[in-house]
C-alpha cells in the first residue's frame, strides 16, 4: 500500500543551527500533537497518511512523519526534515514515497500551504468514493468549508512521481480542502492549528452527513445565500478558534500521553 521513498543519499549535516530554533521546536510539538490526536480519533490508517509543515523560517524545508511509524508513535523529535529534492536533512528514516511526491510539490508550488495534512479518514474518504459532490451543504459544520473546497476527480493511482503532486498543486486554486476522489482528502493551511481544525471538522461534517444519508431520506440543503452568509460568519473567528482548538489538544495530550513532546 505504501512505499518508502528511495531517497538519494542525504547531505551529511544540518546546514543551519536555525533548525534548532524555538519556533521549529514548537512546530514539531504542534505537529506531533496533531498526529497523536488524529490517531486517537481514528483518522489514521496504519503506517500510511502524512502531515507536513514547512519549517518556520526555511521555505525550502518541511517537517514530515517517517515511513513505518503509526500516528500514535510520532513524537516531536521523530519527525523528519526534508528538502524538496528528496533529501532527508534531519532525522532517522525516510518519508513514505507519496508523502514526498505530493507534499513537497504542494509546499513548493502553493506558497500559502505551509501545512498539508493528507489522510484516508473514513468518513470523508467514504464521501470521496461517491459520484457527484462529496459534501452537501446540509449541516452547519459542513458550511465551514462552503467556499474553499476543491474536488479532484482524476484518480491516478499511487503518486510515485512528482506529476501527481504538481497536478494537485495546480488545481488547488484558493481551496484549503481537497477531496481526492477514490482516495482520501488533503487539507492545506497557513498554520498547523488551522490545518488541524479543518481536518477535524471535515471528518465530523462527513460523519454526520453519512448518518443523515443512511436514513435514506432527502437531505435538507441550506439555501445558497444562507450557506454563503454562514460560511462568512464562521470564517471570521476561525483562526483564533483553530489556535484554541490545538491548545486544547495539547493540554489533553500533555496530561495523558506527554511523550508526544519528546
| Site residues for Zn ion per CB under 5 A | 184
The smaller minimum CB distance to Zn ion, of residues 34 and 242, is found at 34
Q: Output the smallest distance, CB 71 to Zn ion, in A.
A: 14
User: Least distance in Å: CB of 50 to Zn ion?
Assistant: 8
Shortest spacing between CB 44 and Zn ion, in angstroms:
12
- Measured at CB, which residue is nearest to Zn ion? 184
Q: How far is the CB of 193 from Zn ion (least distance, A)?
A: 23
Nearer residue to Zn ion within complex by CB, 24 or 180? 180
CB of 40 to Zn ion, least distance (A): 20
Of 105 and 245, the one with the shorter C-beta distance to Zn ion is: 105
CA atoms within 13 A on the CB side of 181: 12
Q: Which is nearer to Zn ion, 134 or 184 (CB)?
A: 184
User: Do β-strands 50-54 and 115-119 pair in parallel, antiparallel, or remain unpaired?
Assistant: antiparallel
Q: d(Cα 244, Cα 162) in Å, to the nearest integer?
A: 35
Considering the complex, state which of residue 160 and residue 208 has its C-beta at the smaller distance from Zn ion: 160
CB distance 79 to 32 below 8 Å:
yes
Compare residues 95 and 184 and give the one whose CB is closer to Zn ion. Answer: 184
To Zn ion, the closest distance from the beta carbon of 183 in angstroms equals: 6
Amino acid at each position: 500500500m505504501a512505499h518508502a521513498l528511495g531517497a538519494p543519499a542525504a547531505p551529511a549535516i544540518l546546514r543551519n543551527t536555525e533548525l534548532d530554533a524555538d519556533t521549529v521546536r514548537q512546530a514539531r510539538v504542534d505537529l506531533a500533537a496533531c498526529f497523536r490526536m488524529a490517531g486517537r480519533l481514528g483518522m489514521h490508517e496504519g503506517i500510511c497518511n502524512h502531515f507536513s509543515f514547512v519549517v518556520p523560517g526555511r521555505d525550502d524545508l518541511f517537517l514530515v512523519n517517517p515511513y513505518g511509524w503509526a500516528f500514535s508513535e510520532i513524537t516531536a523529535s521523530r519527525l523528519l526534515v526534508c528538502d524538496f529534492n528528496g533529501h532527508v536533512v534531519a532525522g532517522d528514516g525516510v518519508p513514505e514515497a507519496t508523502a514526498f511526491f505530493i507534499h513537497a510539490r504542494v509546499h513548493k508550488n502553493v506558497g500559502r500551504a505551509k501545512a498539508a495534512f493528507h489522510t484516508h479518514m473514513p468518513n470523508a474518504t467514504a464521501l470521496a468514493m461517491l459520484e457527484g459532490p462529496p459534501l452537501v451543504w446540509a449541516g452547519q459544520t459542513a458550511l465551514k468549508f462552503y467556499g474553499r473546497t476543491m474536488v479532484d476527480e482524476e484518480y491516478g493511482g499511487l503518486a510515485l512521481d512528482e506529476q501527481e503532486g504538481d497536478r494537485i498543486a495546480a488545481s488547488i486554486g484558493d481551496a484549503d480542502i481537497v477531496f481526492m476522489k477514490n482516495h482520501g482528502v488533503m487539507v492545506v493551511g497557513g498554520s498547523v492549528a488551522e490545518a488541524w481544525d479543518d481536518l477535524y471538522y471535515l471528518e465530523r461534517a462527513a460523519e454526520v452527513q453519512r448518518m443523515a444519508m443512511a436514513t435514506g431520506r432527502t437531505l435538507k440543503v441550506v439555501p445558497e445565500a444562507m450557506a454563503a452568509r454562514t460560511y462568512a460568519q464562521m470564517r471570521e473567528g476561525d483562526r483564533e478558534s483553530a489556535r484554541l482548538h490545538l491548545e486544547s489538544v495539547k493540554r489533553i495530550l500533555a496530561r495523558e500521553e506527554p511523550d508526544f513532546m519528546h
